Amino acid sequence: MNERVRMIKFEHFRGLPANEFKLKGKNLVILGTNGKGKSAFVDGIEFVFSGQVARFTGAGTGSISHDDAVKNVRTGGDPKVVIALSPSNGEISRKLSSDTLELTNRQPINDFFTQHPKVDGFVLRRAKILDFVCDQDADRYQKFVQLLGITKVDRFQRSFVEAERQANIAVGRTKTSHQTNLALFKDPVSGFVPTNLAQVFAQIAKTVKAFGLEIEKWEDLESRLPLLKAKRPQANRKKIDAITRALVSIETPLAIVPDADVKTVNELRGKIAELAVSSADAPRSSIIEEGRCYFAGHNDETHCPLCETQLEQPLDALLARLKERGEALQELRNAMSKRAAAFGRLKQYAVSIADLLKKDLAHSGLFETATLTELRGARAKALRFTRFLARAEKDDFVEYVVVPEGLQAIAEIRKAVAVALNKQKDALVPPDSAKLEAAIALLERGIASWQDVEKAESAFAGSREILRRTTIARECFSSAREGAIQQVFTKISGKVLDYYKVLHDFADGGEASECTALEFKPTSRAATGGLRLAIQFLGLANSKDPRAFLSEGHLDSLGLCLFLAAVRIFNPPGTLLVLDDVLTSIDKEHRRRVGELLFTEFKDFQIILTTHDDHWNELLQKSARVMGLQNQWQYIQINGWSVDTGPVISVSESSWEFITENLTEANYRNLGGPFRVVLEDFLARSAAKIELKVRFKADGKYTAGDFVLAGIADELRKLLINADSTKEGAIGIDLARVLGQGDLINFLCHNNPGRLEVTFDQARDFISGLRSLLTRCEEHKLIKGK
């Protein structure tokens, strides 16, 4: 991005009633103690990009009114924040009273806003610095998924997982059906328990072969049955046949009550009703999803593409609402799908009971009156239950599903009937004909049931094949997805470790990073996703949770490195990077390293820092100058705040610019602080270049007097004259104007009652001499940073 923030202007916004901050495309450091408006400045940036200030909304904010919190308490006007950009000279602005963002109608301005990361991707506040370290795996994963822009891919992943789950359920259902059908051919006496239809056929073929008959296919059974029956004695033949046919039906096991399905339909009934009441979006689910995808890809859209009316809320808020509605609809669809599947299995259960009892009743002439009444009553209950389920499946049905009493009790009655019929049959069959009758009964069962068994076996095999394919599809998709994501995670973890070492590895061996390796590892939560963060501590073989080993300060620096690595990898160059007072628990030495990291790794970002640490502010200024980056940074110090005027700013631009603007007869007496900054900067950088020996100070805070006592004036005079002897007189004058005016700077300071002793001409001579010395030293390479 070529656009840079030139100015940010606030009107009636929080503690900034009418304030503007000129950045001129540079990086900015705002120094000030708590309660001076630093965070309000960051709030304003967030407000422009998202339409709200997140810390005043959502969970944990209690009774906070967002709009009241955003307004200035005294002015009562409509809060407004304006971000002016250069070189296009366009603006992005937002008012609280309007849900529409105002953009200058120029392509660079539109590109800047639409391509810029969302607030969470470029603003880091002190309260959020540990989020990446301390988040739950699922929350951390979702943040990176959003940064990666693969939320659609994750929805596909959930679809694959759900398909595999449904296929597993189908396998269980068809397996039960298959086993129920095969149970008819069990023979406890011989220990025959078939597991497939081929075993049943082999058993039947073996049985009839003992009577001199052969079968090659199932269809042969019909022709072999009369031949077997012909071998019977004539007595009681019809009676035995009737009992055998009845036993084929009555010995077929009833389906088992699916208690889990009953529990599912009852538990989901209330949940679906609640979700349906809270959302009227069910008929509009596809439109909502399409709308979310459309607006996500058209960040500049200001009107609804369907009704063409102007959008009434910020695009970020609209997308968040569409996402929320989509997730609620997905939850509703999932619940309805699970409930419908459970109802399907319950209806299948009820129908199978009714059908089997109908077959039993076809042999009613063999049953006692009481048994007949029980069977008819049970079938009537099964039919009523089937009709009840059809009604209960409707959305407005309020009764709980309960399996009628007696449906399972009928299984015991049928067993008793089967025992009684077998006794009757045994009494009718001569002892020498028992094997023959058993063979006839087996053929009867085969003729009546082999096609049902074949159908159940085919369904079981088909469901297993579907499960196999869905598992392969899910694994392939997951593998490809996780492989691609892991590459990014590996890249991130490498970048984080590099940054962490920048902060904690010291060349002299005084400190070495205790994190010898760092990894992001997706967890096995395939549907929802999880991302584990672990470190190797002091070279230990196993990776550990960093919270168990790192101090608070080191956890803070790790969290900062995580955020910066994400910015470096995901955010386009030229975008903003805002760090709001994030170094609270990081000590001074490591703060210096943070500055170096920002200077070297984020040159192509526009950085905005707020801090209450004047030491770090000073380090940043000195480091930037020594590295030759002083023209890319500027510094604001907030000395006070009032409810009517907002922040009281002491230096509105970099020190040289401020001096240039205020070196006038009316304002020069306010330049003591800036004079001190530019003088000490010049002396420190020139002393470093000429390797001047200055008395060591433990706190590292050197003043102009320290360099003067070390003889810097003599050293610079000698080196400058050696470089250009023709300018010896001018060099002497410059040195005298800068270092020969005694306590000029102290006299100019606000807390010095004698500051009026310094005249405007003295101040002008001082800064003229310093500019001249700076130019001479830069020309002859006697100063660092140029």
Residues with Cβ < 8 Å from 208, sequence gap 6 or more? 214, 215, 224, 228, 439, 443
Same domain, 635 and 774: no
Q: Quick check: is 535 in a domain?
A: no
pLDDT attached to residue 86: 93
Rounded to whole angstroms, how far apart are CA atoms 502 and 515?
Answer: 12
User: Of all helices (H) and strands (E), which one includes residue 589?
Assistant: helix 588-601
290 and 412 both lie in a single domain = yes
Tell whether 52 and 9 lie within a shared domain: yes
Q: Is residue 443 part of a domain?
A: no
Determine the pLDDT at residue 503. 85
272 lies in the same domain as 401: yes
Residue 316 identity: D
Is position 662 within any domain?
no
Residue 485 lies in a domain: no
Inside any domain, residue 314: yes
Query: What integer pLDDT is reported at residue 653 of this predicted model?
Result: 46
pTM of model > 0.75: no
Residues 717 and 592 in one domain: no
pLDDT at 70: 92
pLDDT at 570: 85
Same-domain check for residues 603 and 686: no
Tell me, yes or no, whether 277 and 349 share the same domain.
yes
Q: What local confidence, expressed as pLDDT, does residue 652 receive?
A: 41
pLDDT of residue 408: 73
Domain total of the chain: 3
Structural domain containing residue 404: 259-422
In one-letter notation, the amino acid at residue 753 is P
pLDDT at 671: 80
| Contacts by residues 764-769 (CB-CB < 8 Å, ≥ 24 positions apart) | 764/663, 764/668, 765/737, 765/741, 766/675, 766/737, 766/738, 766/741, 767/659, 767/663, 767/675, 767/678, 768/737, 769/733, 769/734, 769/735, 769/736, 769/737, 769/738
Residue 456, SS3?
A: helix
Is residue 34 assigned to a domain? yes
- Please identify, among 652, 677, 700, the residue that sits at the C-terminal boundary of a domain: 652
**Domain membership flag for residue 463:** no
Which parts of the chain sit beneath pLDDT 70? 1, 59-61, 132, 143-152, 273-303, 305-308, 310-329, 395-398, 507-511, 522-529, 539-543, 585, 650-654, 698-700, 749-756, 785-786
Q: Is the same domain home to 289 and 402?
A: yes
For residues 276 and 382, state if they share a domain. Answer: yes
**Domain match, 644 and 752 both:** no
Nearest to 77 by CA among 21, 35, 18, 8: 18
Q: What is the CATH number of the domain that holds 631?
A: 3.40.50.300
Whole-angstrom Cα distance, residue 483 to residue 564?
23
Residue where one domain finishes, among candidates 652, 687, 721:
652
Percent helix, percent strand, percent coil in the chain, to nearest 5: 60, 10, 30
What token pair was written down for 710? 């070390």
pLDDT at 95: 94
Report the alpha-carbon angle 93-577-630, nearest 5: 105
Task: Name the nearest CA neighbour of 702 among 674, 675, 683, 716.
Answer: 683
Residue 215 three-state SS: coil
Instruction: Please check whether residues 676 and 636 belong to one and the same domain.
Output: no
Q: How far apart are CA 167 and CA 463, in angstroms?
A: 7
Q: Which two tokens stand for residue 299?
A: 């960040």
Question: Rounded CA gap, 38 and 45, in Å?
Answer: 11
Measured between alpha carbons, how far is 639 from 649 in angstroms, rounded to an integer? 6
Given 422, 450, 470, the domain boundary residue is: 422
Answer yes or no: is 528 within a domain.
no
Task: Let me know whether 583 and 672 are in one domain.
Answer: no
